[in-house]
Chain A
Amino acid sequence: MARFTPHTEDDIREMLGAIGVETLDDLFADVSPKQDQPLDLPSALSEYEVLEGVSELAGENITGLPVFLGAGAYDRIVPSAIGAITARGEFLTSYTPYQPEVSQGGLQVIFEFQSVISELTGMEVANASVYDGANAAAEAALMTARLTKRDPKVAVSAGLNPRYREVIETYRVATVELPFDGGTTDFSEVPEDVSGVFVQSPNFFGIVEDVGAASQAAHEAGALSVAVCDPISLAVLEAPGNLEADIAVGETQPLGMPLLYGGPYAGYMATREKFVRQLPGRIAGETVDKDGRLAYVLTLRAREQDIRRARANSNLCTNQALMALAATVYAALMGPEGLRKVAELSISKAHYLARRLGESGFELRYPDAPFLWEFAVEMPDVARANEALLEAGIVGGLDLGDGAMLVAVTEKRRKEELDRFVEVVADAQ
């Protein structure tokens, strides 16, 4: 029987004796209705067999090729040191640090993660992370409603990742559409009744938006502004905290997390200290122990569901601690210069590709808008281009469905790959 259960038949007999019952079934005497049939599942496999099966299944996926897909998840370099740290059983197999005396490692990591996020966003306080970027956006939308005491309703544009918008709407937040023109959002006419105004920069099409204008428009409407920012971009772009944004959120996957078909990743949320009581999720704070030694603890717990129950500011229970650890180790390894280098390499390569595509007759959808490492390029037959790319050993960009491809270029892409991309799509049109 035993797989990960240590008991021998003798153990079981002794333990049943200590309990004072005859059989294991006796322990389930109160269960009703009982399941009388064995579970109809494929029979148990050994570790060796199951992992052989995993490798076979993995072979049915197409990976190991240069990837030009982005749209919220990026094929970036993951330093080896990250996996070495996240595999430490002390981190991997622990849980939420309810007992701070034996959880100082995890708590300090959260404190450092919050600090990294606060530094990047220019905000005073960040939480310990949430499920993913889309959920960070949804939680921020709800936060704007609580802080403005308005109904949850946010202004968004086509520049916001459509998946983020969908999650916001699932969370019963209404959305109103702002005009999107020439690759950027027009914030000149924000409705007066919204609780929040969203600005994503770089936006869904890779273009740098005017975060300051969004903040100003939000404040004039009595609303709060939410900036959605790729953390790598914040190595080169002005921090949303310096552009009067009230809340900054985003996806930390680019900070050292493998693509892994969409998760687990982690969302970040940062804000002004005056709004901290409406910030959902865990927050680690500094304190001292009985001997006056510096230590960390989960704090401002009266916001949370296990204390406040129906009146909590969210139902969030855990964060994405292991992914926050990965992001923290990534930020430490890279430092401010390394992060900047990642951004600059990506920008240089993306602009090289865009220029080469231009030379081959492809037009950018938004030729006058400033972009970083992702851009939409007009392409009459994206499906055909992507087929040809795949045949040439390249995973092409995202088909926007309206005659354009959204192309992401990271620091991983080599010049030969970029050149090959241009050749193949030019031949395919």
Chain B
Amino acid sequence: MLSSEQTLGNLIRDKGRPGRRGYTLPKPDVDEISLENVLPEDALRKEKPRLPEVDEPTVIRHYTNLSRKNWGIDTNFYPLGSCTMKHNPRANEAAAAVPGFAGLHPLQPEDQAQGALRVMHELQVFLSEISGFPAISLQPLAGAQGELTSILMVKKYFEDAGDEGRTNVLIPETAHGTNPATATMAGFNAQSIGLDEHGCVNVEELKEKADETTAALMITNPNTCGVYERNISEIAELLHEAGAFLYMDGANMNANLGRMRPSDAGADIMHFNLHKTFSTPHGGGGPGSGAIACSEKLAPFRPVPVVEKEGESYRFVSPEKTIGRVAGFHGNFGVLLKAWNYIRMHGPELKDVTDMAVLNANYVRARLKGTYRIPYEGPCKHEVVVQPPKGMKALDIAKGLIDHGFHPPTIYFPLVVKEAMLIEPTETESKETLDDFVGAMLELAQSKDLEEAPTKAPTRRLDEAKAARQLKAHW
């Protein structure tokens, strides 16, 4: 497929030759210093790093060709469950490229950065309105860090209150792996809680487990089965009676815009994934933003800094009992700006985003029903979990989808559903795309010999065990 690889080798470094350069720097306009004269000899580098020595045309061709071995939303339908792979409007990119933002140094004094601070402040106000919470922090750099920030705030709250016995964080079986990992990292025991027949948190079990050792429950709503947690208000009450907090993982907020506010449902704190719900590009796995929203009770514990408006100007302030700093500077500002941009382009019509996302998921659900097993009753929310016909593997269907030109859904997650395929179409896909996808899914359900799939992708299935056994992670 990429014919030049036989002679050139695979990696950018293989395509170079000593002495080639890919970039020309300005000529020196001051006397050039000899390093030996200003630095101790043993501090100087002895051997130069083995980096590529290539020209710009080679660099562009190499990475352009690599990009052609990668699928994105731009190239293929990408219904990866719980990841909200919606179209990324290019106006967002244009906004972040404006020189008046791109060239702004993070340590310029606040009075030199009023535009940036105003964007942050307005985004705080928007997220407050969407979640119903009075307090926001834009600091966390990804969803997982939003979780950690929230749970560290809960930890600090109890330390501050002198309540030392709260060692447990309850985690439903449907939770993302980041939830229990976060609980551990924040110094809690992750305690599992089971589900009822609807795929929701088991309230009877919660009644037994929520006690004076409980710090919080981490709930995702809708949960990772795509099911709305119908007892969320009761769950919140049970936790509050036990003196604990309800944390809501906002990974699935694309199902809630204008339809449900987490604070109304009794949650105390939550994180947003701005890169999911508010369309900032996932970039192959980052950058994201895990902004958080919380109640007055937890607000004093937010990380530094928070933006406040004072008269007509904006400034950074430190919440009174802050957990400290979670990012080197002030959050992933570029991502914040893109999310702000997206919200400005939608306004109250954000509700339509949610409505169309939920419509698309239910449409796929209805069309697959009968061929695929659907473990939970409908309607689903923005995503639907299905199981292949008996005897078939989710992995094989997934690899078969690749040969049909569709990125597979999330598979083998949530863990509570055997052979799970978690499909999240998002609102930006047309009925025709969904029909084609459903057509492929139905055809694959009848297929044999899927073990060989994919055959049309840049590679066949990989030997993953070899990669771990004979680790080679460096050229």
Is A12 interfacial (CB-CB < 8 Å)? yes
B390 to chain A, nearest CB (A): 24
Q: Which of B11, B88, B89, B113 contacts A61 (CB 8 A)?
A: B113
Q: Which of A74-110 contact B (CB under 8 A)?
A: 75, 77, 79, 81, 83-106, 108-109
A288-B463 contact given A125-B474, A167-B324, CB 8 Å threshold:
yes
List B contacts of A384 (CB < 8 A): none
Is A411 interfacial (CB-CB < 8 Å)? yes
Q: Which of B95, B178, B329, B430 contacts A261 (CB 8 A)?
A: B329
B177 and A51 form a contact (CB under 8 A): no
Is A329 interfacial (CB-CB < 8 Å)? yes
A263-B285 contact given A35-B264, A88-B64, A103-B71, CB 8 Å threshold:
no
A111 to chain B, nearest CB (A): 7
List A contacts of B31 (CB < 8 A): 348, 352
Which of the segments A192-200, A219-227, A299-307, A359-367 contacts the partner chain?
A299-307
Is A144 interfacial (CB-CB < 8 Å)? no
Chain A window 389-423, contacts with chain B (Cβ cutoff 8 Å), 1 for yes, 0 for no: 01000010010000000000001001100100000
B284 and A108 form a contact (CB under 8 A): no
List B contacts of A45 (CB < 8 A): 344-345, 347
A41 and B331 form a contact (CB under 8 A): no
Bound complex: CA of A128 vs CA of B91, how far in Å? 28
Which of the segments B97-105, B205-213, B240-248 contacts the partner chain?
B97-105
List A contacts of B89 (CB < 8 A): 4, 47
Is A72 interfacial (CB-CB < 8 Å)? yes
B276 to chain A, nearest CB (A): 10
Bound complex: CA of A161 vs CA of B33, how far in Å? 26
Q: Chain B contact residues (Cβ within 8 angstroms of A): what range?
A: 35 or more
List A contacts of B457 (CB < 8 A): 101-102
Q: Determine the residue in chain B with the shortest Cβ distance to A47.
A: B91
Q: Give the total number of A-B pairs whose CB atoms are below 8 A apart.
A: 669
Q: Which of B290-315 contact A (CB under 8 A)?
A: 303
Bound complex: CA of A163 vs CA of B398, how far in Å? 44
B38 and A370 form a contact (CB under 8 A): yes
B178 to chain A, nearest CB (A): 5
Bound complex: CA of A134 vs CA of B443, how far in Å? 49
Q: Which of A298-335 contact B (CB under 8 A)?
A: 299-302, 304-312, 314-323, 325, 328-329, 331-335
Bound complex: CA of A386 vs CA of B108, how far in Å? 11
Is B408 interfacial (CB-CB < 8 Å)? yes
Q: Which of B52-72 contact A (CB under 8 A)?
A: 52-54, 56, 59-60, 62-64, 66-72
Q: Determine the residue in chain B with the shortest Cβ distance to A62.
A: B112
A297 and B98 form a contact (CB under 8 A): no
A40 and B129 form a contact (CB under 8 A): yes
Is B370 interfacial (CB-CB < 8 Å)? no
Is A426 interfacial (CB-CB < 8 Å)? no
B284 and A94 form a contact (CB under 8 A): yes
A329 and B59 form a contact (CB under 8 A): yes
Bound complex: CA of A75 vs CA of B143, how far in Å? 28
Interface size on A, residues (CB 8 A): 206
Q: Which of A5, A41, A318 contacts B428 (CB 8 A)?
A: A5
Bound complex: CA of A281 vs CA of B362, how far in Å? 35
Bound complex: CA of A18 vs CA of B369, how far in Å? 11
List B contacts of A60 (CB < 8 A): 114-115, 118
Is B392 interfacial (CB-CB < 8 Å)? no
B283 and A61 form a contact (CB under 8 A): no
List B contacts of A212 (CB < 8 A): 42
B429 and A238 form a contact (CB under 8 A): no
List B contacts of A160 (CB < 8 A): none
Q: Determine the residue in chain A with the shortest Cβ distance to B357.
A: A5
Tell me which of B108, B126, B232 has the highest count of chain A C-beta atoms within 10 A of its own C-beta. Answer: B108
List A contacts of B277 (CB < 8 A): none
Q: Which of B48, B147, B260, B461 contacts A34 (CB 8 A)?
A: B260
A89 and B74 form a contact (CB under 8 A): yes
Identify the 5 closest CB pairs spanning chains A and B, nearest first: A58-B100, A262-B329, A89-B74, A322-B283, A262-B106
Task: Beyond A1-B349, A63-B103, list 8 extra A-B contacts (CB 8 Å).
Answer: A18-B363, A57-B100, A59-B115, A103-B70, A135-B328, A287-B466, A305-B144, A329-B59
27 contacts between A and B (CB under 8 A): A1-B352, A6-B429, A11-B431, A27-B359, A39-B130, A41-B350, A42-B344, A44-B344, A63-B101, A81-B59, A88-B63, A92-B72, A101-B402, A104-B70, A104-B458, A171-B185, A238-B42, A260-B334, A261-B330, A262-B333, A264-B287, A264-B332, A290-B462, A309-B181, A317-B144, A318-B142, A325-B283
